[in-house]
Amino acid sequence: MATTLRAPAGTDAAALVARALTTEPSLPLVAGGGALSKEMIRVNHYGADATRSAVLSSLAALGAALGATGRQVDFDAARRAVSETSPGL
């Protein structure tokens, strides 16, 4: 499964993903392709990455990257959303 996220307005998704991957290059993150590369982010949590840890680590890295740009980040809300929407992970 892959989850698609929209980067906040005014944020370049490709740059955000690149920043997130500097801390953990093995995370299953990729910016959308083509016309969507500036606004969409995919978390490719399938196969070996089909774990709660992979999803939470990806969100934490994206949150840290967003926080580094001065954006407000609510890590607890992100963790709750994962728990509520992905109980099988």
What CATH code is carried by the domain that includes residue 13? 3.90.1150.10
Q: Quick one: pLDDT at residue 65? A: 95
pLDDT score recorded for residue 59: 92
Cβ–Cβ under 8 Å, residues 16 and 61: no
Q: Which is higher by pLDDT, 16 or 89?
A: 16
Domain region containing 21: 2-85
- Segment 11-29 shows an average pLDDT of 94
What pLDDT sits at residue 18? 96
Taking CA 24 as the corner, what is the angle to CA 63 and CA 13, rounded to the nearest 5 degrees?
45
Side-chain-side CA neighbours of residue 61 (13 Å): 24
> What pTM was computed for the model?
0.85
Block residue for tokens 């392709």: 33
Q: Summarize pLDDT for 37-89 with one digit per residue, the tens.
A: 889 999 998 888 788 888 889 999 999 999 999 999 998 998 888 788 765 55
Number of domains in the chain: 1
